[in-house]
Amino acid sequence: MNNNSILLIDPAFDPASASACNLLVKVGLDSFSYAIINKGTKQVSAVFDEQECESGAQKFAERLKTDSYLKLPYQEVKFSIHTSNTIAIPNDLYNEEELESHSQFFTEAHSGNLYSQAQNHFGFTTIFTLPKAIDKTLEEFINGKKFEQNASLLSLAEKFKETTLFLDFTVASFNVSFIKNQQVVFQQVYEVENIEEFNYYILLIINQLNIDLKETALNISGIINEGDEKYNCLLKYFSKVDFISVDTDLNQEVLDDMPAHYYSSLLALNQCV
């Protein structure tokens, strides 16, 4: 482990029980984390997290070679992966046989696999590619399901009926989803070096999306704490800031010493189908 990583594991976890467990993997722009969940006992057996990576995708590729927990024969594996090549297509315009035609709108040229992910609650389908550093590698996970990075955040958002801004933080970046009238209006990820830059992006989001601060709920998750610089910055504009928790019956004792919202989006990946 280095100073930017942490591994929390139930001392009673037996790697031989992996066939009864799910592996959840979240690869961010600058972070990498995973969780092991026993399907039978509904217990979170382990959580690994590494922040401030030069590349989350590259860090994942590296740990696949050295981390024995990633190589166990799990019942199911789910990957949530940041990519710059992603586009949302309204379901009434989506045609599964024309995936390649939509790739012309990607920000980067692609030569790999195309993936699709239905967001039926919000009425669209996401089409995306994965970073080359891990796309080929994931083919070894025969039972692996691949999701775009915001999939778990959107699964948490489904229970909210009001206009809501969702922010999911790593140490050096944050993901944004803005939901209005049960529609996903905006999604983006921003890297931030300091509080001034964070303040700039928050004002940019508020102004460009014409967010009504009195009518919009703010829900946050990830690596942020009440009273820190980013939290206090948000309070300059929003009257209330709520932390997102995973509405689940999972036993999370392994995380008892950590803030409950730190790994909400990671554990919510368990709800994605």
Q: 18 in a domain, yes or no? A: no
Q: 203 in a domain, yes or no? A: yes
Number of domains in the chain: 1
Tell me the residue type at 61: A
- CATH, residue 206: 3.30.420.260
Q: 175 in a domain, yes or no? A: yes
Q: Decide if 76 contacts 52 (C-beta within 8 A).
A: no
Each residue of 25-77: pLDDT tens digit?
999 999 999 999 999 999 999 999 999 999 999 999 999 999 999 999 999 99
Q: 263 in a domain, yes or no? A: no
Q: 224 in a domain, yes or no? A: yes
**Distance set, CA 98 to CA 94, 108, 112, 123, 147 (Å):** 8, 19, 16, 18, 19
Q: 234 in a domain, yes or no? A: yes
Q: Decide if 81 contacts 149 (C-beta within 8 A).
A: yes
- What is the domain extent for residue 187? 159-243
Q: What is the pLDDT of residue 101?
A: 85
Q: 60 in a domain, yes or no? A: no
pTM: 0.93
How many angstroms separate the CA atoms of 136 and 133, rounded? 7
> Who's near 48: CB < 8 A, 6+ residues apart?
5, 6, 7, 8, 33, 34, 35, 67, 69
| Least confident window among 93-107, 184-198, 239-253 | 93-107
Q: Which of 64, 67, 63, 69 is nearest to 16 (CA)?
A: 69
Q: 133 in a domain, yes or no? A: no
Maximum distance among all Cα pairs of the chain, rounded to whole angstroms: 53
